[in-house]
């Protein structure tokens, strides 16, 4: 009959191997995983087009207009604040391009 001491020593010899294997799996996972918010810059805007180039008439602008620079807005080309989530997810610091009419 085996003692508790021998049972403990029997499985403990596998601890270094199991630890190394788990560390290896974790490193491989970190290397190959796709980050949900860091792969493509433009995820949704005019994906059917070969190039996104937007034109806005200056007469259509209000007193202050904010344009998206993070490519996450649902109101392209205008900013809807989606950069806040993008920045939190990626650690980025992007914000909108704000155009204001000069007041005289």
User: Is domain 36-103 given the CATH code 3.40.5.90 in the classification?
Assistant: yes
Please state, rounded to an integer, the average pLDDT across all residues of the chain.
82
User: At CA 33, angle to CA 87 and CA 19, rounded to 5?
Assistant: 120
**Residue 60 confidence (pLDDT) above 70:** yes
- pLDDT band for position 42 (cuts 50, 70, 90): confident
- The token duo for 24 is 């290896």
Domain residue limits, the chain: 36-103
Q: Sort strands 64-67 and 97-100 into parallel, antiparallel or unpaired.
A: antiparallel
Catalytic residue (one of 34, 51, 64, 104): 51
Burial of 80: CB neighbours in 10 Å, binned 0-12, 13-18, 19+: middle
pLDDT at 75 over 70: yes
Answer whether 0.75 is exceeded by the pTM.
no
Active site residue 104: no
* Residues 6+ away with beta carbon under 8 Å from 66: 78, 79, 96, 97, 98, 99
């Amino acid at each position: 009959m085996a003692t508790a001491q021998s049972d403990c020593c029997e499985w403990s010899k596998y601890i270094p191997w199991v630890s190394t294997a788990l560390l290896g799996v974790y490193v491989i996972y970190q290397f190959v995983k796709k980050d949900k918010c860091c792969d493509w810059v433009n995820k949704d805007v005019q994906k059917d087009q070969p190039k996104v180039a937007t034109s806005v008439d200056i007469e259509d602008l209000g007193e202050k207009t904010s344009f998206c620079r993070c490519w996450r807005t649902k109101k392209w080309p205008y900013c809807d604040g989606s950069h806040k989530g993008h920045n939190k997810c990626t650690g980025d610091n992007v914000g909108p391009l704000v155009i204001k009419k000069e007041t005289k």
